[in-house]
Amino acid sequence: MKNQIEIYQATDGQTQVEVTFDQDTVWLTQQQMSALFNQTKQNISLHINNCFREKELVRNATVKKSLTVQKEGVRQVKRAIEFYNLDVIISVGYRVKSQQGTQFRQWATQRLRDYLVQGYAINKTRLAQKQQEVQILKDGIRILSRAIKGKIIETELGWLEHFAKGLELLDDYDHEQLDDKGLTKRLANYPESADYEKIINMMRADFHSAIFGKEKDGSFQSAIAQISKGFNKEDFYPSIEEKAVTLLYLIVKNHGFVDGNKRIAAACFLLFLEKNDLLYVQNRKPIVSNEALASLTLLVASSKPEEMETVKKTYY
């Protein structure tokens, strides 16, 4: 509950006050208390000062300042206004012996209870979502760790072991940042077959292999076509991120080439993101680093069929 604003209307049907809910209490200015209790602002100020002078309440714990915009002629001026919490409001209500004070206290207390219950329900749902997201990350780490350990045995590349330890830090990932990840749901731009072939031909020159990029069957073309499919008006892969990672997954897993499936899949993945203006973020920084691209591709290659959804969600 932060800076929620509601309108309180008294039983007389005339008194209306804009009430701010924040920090598990309510806040009113002297002007608002004046309207609520039908007292002059000077009288309200006197009661507030007495309440602090008599040490009934502590000023620092019950008063906060907030910048508000006020009109002065044709100008708008920012001023620091003091707000007083429910304890002060109740104290003033008793001092002016106002029935309005009792009614307001009952209303405010009930609204605070409502906010607490609502906040608990929202936080409970949010916690469940967080736990699911963290579990997806852990599953992804498990798959990738399995792949890295296998690769170490095969090639004795010591740096992979160091990299695997770094991946364990994902368990301590700042959960709030997970909320910043979005899914881009708009019409996708699909590269032409010629665009993919151009990328593969360029890579052939770098890898000097007679069999690199040589197609075994039609599974590569099938993967390209699959990401644009749907049923009626429902897209099988609603977001561009889902389409991109599905393309990567299918090319790697279909083994449509005699050699170079993982490298080609990663290149096609980048091409699809570039065609849809998602390859770079601010300052032309790539959305995925070289290490992350290699890790994601290795994650796909080492996953089992039943782990497909985990692999895809690890990216987007």
Q: List pLDDT tens digits, range 67-116.
A: 777 666 677 777 888 999 888 888 888 888 777 777 787 777 777 666 65
Q: Within 10 Å of residue 20's Cβ, how many Cβ atoms?
A: 20
Question: Is residue 257 within 8 Å of 222, Cβ to Cβ?
Answer: no
Task: Give the list of residues 6+ apart from residue 230 with CB closer than 8 angstroms, or none.
Answer: 236
Residue 194 dihedral angles phi and psi, to the nearest 5°: -65, -30
Helical (H) or strand (E) element with 71: strand 63-72
Question: Is residue 84 within 8 Å of 28, Cβ to Cβ?
Answer: yes
The residue ranking higher by pLDDT, 109 or 298, is: 298
By CB atoms closer than 10 A (0-12, 13-18, 19+), residue 89 is buried
What is the C-alpha to C-alpha distance for residues 156 and 277, in angstroms, rounded to an integer?
38
Query: What are the CA-CA distances from residue 69 to residues 34, 74, 75, 83 (Å)?
Result: 20, 12, 10, 14
What is the C-alpha to C-alpha distance for residues 294 and 148, in angstroms, rounded to an integer?
11
What is the C-alpha to C-alpha distance for residues 75 and 93, in angstroms, rounded to an integer?
35
Place of tokens 């069999």: 211
**Is the pLDDT reported for residue 176 higher than 80?**
no
Helical (H) or strand (E) element with 85: strand 75-85
What is the C-alpha to C-alpha distance for residues 57 and 40, in angstroms, rounded to an integer?
22
What is the C-alpha to C-alpha distance for residues 179 and 169, in angstroms, rounded to an integer?
18
The reported pLDDT for the residue numbered 168 is: 43
What is the C-alpha to C-alpha distance for residues 82 and 59, in angstroms, rounded to an integer?
11
- Note the residue count of the chain: 316
The reported pLDDT for the residue numbered 133 is: 62
pLDDT tens digit sequence for 64-74: 988 777 666 67
**Is the pLDDT reported for residue 208 higher than 80?**
no
Question: How far from chain centre, in Å, is Cα 94?
Answer: 45
- Structure tokens of 133? 């997201």
Stretch 54-67: mean pLDDT, rounded?
87
Q: What is the pTM of this model?
A: 0.47
The reported pLDDT for the residue numbered 224 is: 92
Q: Backbone dihedral region of 232: left (phi > 0), alpha (psi from -120 to 50 degrees) or beta?
A: left
The residue ranking higher by pLDDT, 120 or 33, is: 33
Question: How far from chain centre, in Å, is Cα 69?
Answer: 31
Task: Enumerate the β-bridge partners of residue 212.
Answer: 259
Estimate the share of the chain in helix, then strand, then coil, as percent rounded to the nearest 5. Answer: 60, 15, 25
Amino acid at 124: K
Amino acid at 314: T
What is the C-alpha to C-alpha distance for residues 228 and 176, in angstroms, rounded to an integer?
32
